[in-house]
Structure 1
Amino acid sequence: MRFLLPFFLLLSSLVVVLPGCEPKEDIVTTDSSAKLEFAEDTVKFDTVFASVGTVSKRLWVYNRNARAVRVAEISLQNRPGVNYSLLINGDATSTARDVEIRGKDSLLVLVRATIDPTPSDLKPFLVVDDLRFRTNGNEQLVKVLSYGQNAYFHDAERIRRSTTWRSDKPHVIYNSVLVERGATLTIEAGARIYSHAGSFLVVQGRLLCNPAFQPTGELKPEDRNFVRFQGDRREEQYREVPGQWGGIQFDTLSRDNVVRFTEIKNSNYGLFFFNRRNYQPHPNVLVENSLFSNISTAGSGFGIDGAALLGIYGDFVVRNTLITNCEQYALFGVGNVNQLDYVTVANYPRLLHDKPSVLLAPSIEINKMPTPPVAPRLTIRNSIVWGTNKDGNELAFANGELYPSTISISSSVLKTKEYDNTNPLGQRKNGNILNPTEGPAYLFKSTPIRFRGKTLDFQLDTLSPASNKGLPLPGLTRDLLNRSRNSSTPDVGAYERVNP
């Protein structure tokens, strides 16, 4: 034992003089590959905030690295509409800096949302913010999502059985909604549907939009019985901005869809058929007494241009309908069947457009692969196709000389260079008014060109060349607003002119 005692004294001395060894999990790494992981990619406040002020949600942040990391900044952007705050390590803040997380450890972040519970029609339904983490030069984002009003919320919903969307509260679509095959979605008169950016209503089954509404008298454009689709941004500056949400897409096997007394606005597409292999019979929809406006895919990254009605081997019957201010197409038909009766296409988008408002084609390339060539069919009666195309051509046919017998246009007002007495289709005018040199400025009551700054009104002016130029069509005796049409010489377009 006496020999061991000097050994222990020497060992003790060495321990005192040797430098301390820091555990690996406390050593901070600056390696840019040392990223964080999160328990979820979205902090979602799924409570309805009509009567709730402040709610907190937890977000676990994981450091899977062997060494510690120093998070240079944890912050919120705090966009308008809701007040978010953070609680990190017991400190309430909107921004935290130099937060260390030990190796193989985690950090709990509490996110608080304070929303004014006072009811307001202008308050956004969905308020999305970014929770930002900056670590070793990397920036990672976690979405923060809040609902701002009392509504039905459909988040990545799959409708597997026949369902009715009621009109007692608004409906909000987030991450799209799918109506599965065999199911029917019925939307009641007066329903309001607000869709988040990039979200679609995808119909594999059947859509019946406002199928039962029967007006008893003249309607106003703002009539509460119309079903309204639009983006979920309710602020005034978003009221007429195109491309805020996806649109309504119909699958190959979707049949006998009906859209009546409905407004669809501010989307990438209005109604969209995607049947690229031309399966028969085509999916189809009947559109009556409806309005489409502010449609555009500009800057969206999609591979197909936007259109209020896009039919890739999917068929449209459209009656008493207004289509306006589409930055690409009002109607783009590929190998499909289209019938337009008493339709007004009044295309005055924000930018001077270089595409025709109505375009037909036998085929289209999708991801550099052409679809099967099929002659499209188009019947236009008592309709208007007009706009500000820089080439003066609002009606065009790709390879139209190959299918002249499938095109029939009569008693319509057209702005077109292709459809006249010398065009390749070789058809007579059939009572059409082509490119009128007198009166085009007075075609409509109010456009962005005429009476700039006034509310747009695409009803016919008293001097309109479309007045009393139609032929009666059986069963179509009332206009978009349920007004009686002249029984012998109706007006052309969606609206019958009312004498002051």
Structure 2
Amino acid sequence: MRNFILLFSVGFLICLSSCRSDFEFERHVGGLRFSRDTVYLDTVFTNIGSSTYTLKVYNRSDKDISIPTIQLGKGLDSKYRITVDGMTGENNRIFHNVEMLAKDSMYIFIETTADVAEADPTTFLYTDQIQFGETGNFQNVELVTLIQDAIFLYPQRFDNGTTETLPIGDEEIYGFYLDESDPNHGNEYTFTNQKPYVIYGYAGIPSGKTLTIQAGARVHFHASSGILVGNGGAIDVQGTPSTAGTQDGEVIFEGDRLEPDFSDVPGQWGAIWLTPGSTGNFDHATIKNGVIGLYIQNNSGTVSIDNCQIYDHSNFGILAQTANIVGTNTVINSAGEATLACTLGGSYDFTHCTFNNNFQSSSQRAVAIDNYYTDNNVQMPFNLNQANFKNCIIYGSNQVEMTLNRANDENFAFEYGFENCLIRFNNTTLANGDLYQFDTNPRYSGNVFNQNPRFWDINDNDLHITIDPQSGAIGIANPAYIITQDLDGNTRTTNDSGAYQSTDMPEEN
């Protein structure tokens, strides 16, 4: 019995010692490994939070360790914030006695919100470091962020807690009217290229006012934001040709997330909305990443769209409703429903334009045209006075990329024409319809069907066409409609359809 008790006691002590060793963390300084030595947080606007970035920390040793301190070099004053394996520490900036098991790793998540005044005045870089260890013996991982100054435009908040809104019919939307004598920005009806503009809500242009956007301006929209041109208002986008390899002359409209991962994400903001009775001019504009690029309703006069690029919208590149539009040398690529929708009639004339839709949907179209809508199963028709497409490309990933839908009441005009266009339409059932008699209908002439245009890179929104005898767009344009320069500003010397003259792809570096 005495021997049994002795053996039991020894075994118990051995087990206890063994168990306790599993939870003993050795104080450890140095020897950590990191997934990177410097974390570059992509460009952010002043006082707008960044995306979250990741750093992985490795304990390569055979021992369980305790790191005395993990902290930001600027301590509680740092404009960076970190979490360490889900822990927030002291205000997301200082952590003590952080434990790691042998051969284990942990994640550190990093964010920042900083003012440009806190950045280096010559480089506009805001920097700090994550320090691991203890004073006098730290391992450091550098943090670097470029802070970009901007002009911020947003609705006022009133003393009663409400915010400024804009009237749309019988409703109100979150927005504000621009001010020609704002105490901070001066005349808000002129956007220059001195600083980017960041818009929250809808920036309104009332009757009698024109928003002029100068060459090289950059306009960024927060989620659910945009520009709203009211009845009698106007927008004039005065972009110019850019230096080769740059976009210095372009006016660019996009979301306010500057990280590269957001560069082609659709639906980041609302629309540039031209309401009934408004008008506009767009020259050398790039409009990307919204819900609708241009939403044009029953406009006054003609909206001109020249030398523009409209990319990656969750619904439409251009949604026109009883509108009057003339477009030249314009490229629209990738939209959830249609790159161009000419609806509820109207008047449209497009020359040397490229409409392509490779959005991942079985129902998307490059071009959709109709002259009615349906209310309680009753058609409401409108006059389609013209929908002319000359020397254009209408293409995409679906078998049918051009659709026509006419109201049953033939007393309403439905005038359309396609001349010397490359069109993807590969559906024998639809082709039997009256609107798609390509060989006998005089509304079609000189067109080529279902031949690949040989775009350079549709996923990168590069819709130049390659010099390739198999390209369906080369040499098919009607010289009578030739626009002397293409979207790049190059003189057209060959009769190619689309916004670009065919050219060789640049060699890869």
1:432 matched to 2:447: yes
Task: Measure how far apart 1:313 and its partner are.
Answer: 1.3
Q: Are 1:339 and 2:353 counterparts? A: no
- Residue matched to 1:375: 383
Cα displacement (A) at 1:370: 7.1
Cα distance in 1, alignment partners of residues 278 and 498 from structure 2? 29
| Alignment of structure 1 residues 130-279 onto 2, 5 Å | 149-156=148-155, 157-159=176-178, 161=180, 163-204=189-230, 205-210=233-238, 213=240, 215=241, 219-220=243-244, 222-255=246-279, 257-275=280-298
8 Å contact from structure 1 (residues 328, 353) kept in 2: no
Q: Residue 83 and residue 483 in structure 1: after superposition, are their counterparts in 2 closer, same or farther (change >3 A)?
A: same
**Partner AA of 1:269 in structure 2:** I
Q: What is the TM-score when the length of structure 1 is the normalising length?
A: 0.62
- Aligned counterparts of 2:501 and 2:243: Cα–Cα separation in 1: 13
Q: Give the whole-Å Cα distance in 2 for the aligned partners of 1:290 and 1:409.
A: 21
Determine the structure 2 residue equivalent to 1:286.
304
- % of aligned pairs identical? 24
Structure 2 vs 1, CA of residues 365 and 189 (structure 1 numbering), >3 Å: closer, same or farther?
A: farther
Deviation at 1:352, TM superposition (A): 3.2
Distance in structure 1 (CA, Å) of the matches to 2:338 and 2:420 = 22
Is the CA contact (8 Å cut-off) linking 2:154 and 2:200 kept in structure 1? yes
Residue matched to 2:316: 307
Could you give the per-residue CA deviations for residues 9-34 of structure 1, whole angstroms, max 9, x where no partner exists?
A: xxxxxxxxxxxxxxxxxxxxxxxxxx
TM-score (norm 2): 0.61
Change (3 A) 1:83 1:180: farther
Q: Is the 8 A contact 1:187 1:210 kept in 2?
A: yes
| Equivalent in the alignment of 1:14 | none
Q: Contact 1:332 / 1:358 at 8 angstroms: preserved in 2? A: yes
- 2 CA distance for matches of 1:346 and 1:251? 26
1:149 positional shift: 3.4
2:456 paired residue number = 445
Residue 9 (structure 1) aligns with: none
- The separation in 1 between residues aligned to 2:321 and 2:351, in whole angstroms, is 21
Between Structure 1 and Structure 2, how many residues are aligned?
A: 345
Amino acid aligned to 1:446:
D
Going from structure 1 to structure 2, the CA distance change for 1:174 and 1:382 (only over 3 Å counts) comes to same
The amino acid of 2:313's aligned partner reads I
Contact 1:219 1:481 survives alignment (8 Å): no
Residue identity matched to 1:445: W
Pair 1:312–1:405, CA change in 2 (3 A):
closer
Whole-Å Cα distance in 2 between the matches of residues 435 and 404 of structure 1? 29
AA in 1 matched with 2:152 = F
Could you tell me how far 1:364 is from its partner in structure 2?
2.6
Amino acid corresponding to residue 340 of structure 1 in structure 2: F
Query: What is the identity, as a one-letter code, of the residue corresponding to 1:433?
Result: V
Change (3 A) 1:271 1:354: same
Paired AA for residue 288 in structure 2: K
Distance change (3 Å), C-alpha of 1:364 and 1:122: farther
The 1:221–1:326 alpha-carbon spacing in structure 2 relative to 1, beyond 3 Å, is: farther
Specify every segment of 5 or more residues in structure 2 that has no aligned partner in the other structure, as ranges.
1-44, 49-78, 84-89, 94-111, 127-145, 156-175, 181-186
Task: Note the C-alpha offset of 1:284.
Answer: 3.8
Per-residue CA deviations over 1:386-426 (Å, capped at 9, x if unaligned) read 0012xx11000113785786011100000125799744124
Partners of 2:208 and 2:277 lie apart in 1 by 10
Is contact 1:418-1:424 (8 Å) kept?
Answer: no
Q: Does the CA-based 8 Å contact 2:394-2:423 persist in structure 1? A: yes
Asked if 1:478 is matched to 2:497, the reply is no
Q: For residues 242 and 365 of structure 1, do their structure 2 counterparts lie closer, same or farther at Cα, with a shift above 3 Å needed?
A: farther
User: Is residue 335–residue 364 contact of structure 2 (8 Å, CA) maintained in 1?
Assistant: no
Shift of the alpha carbon at 1:295?
0.6
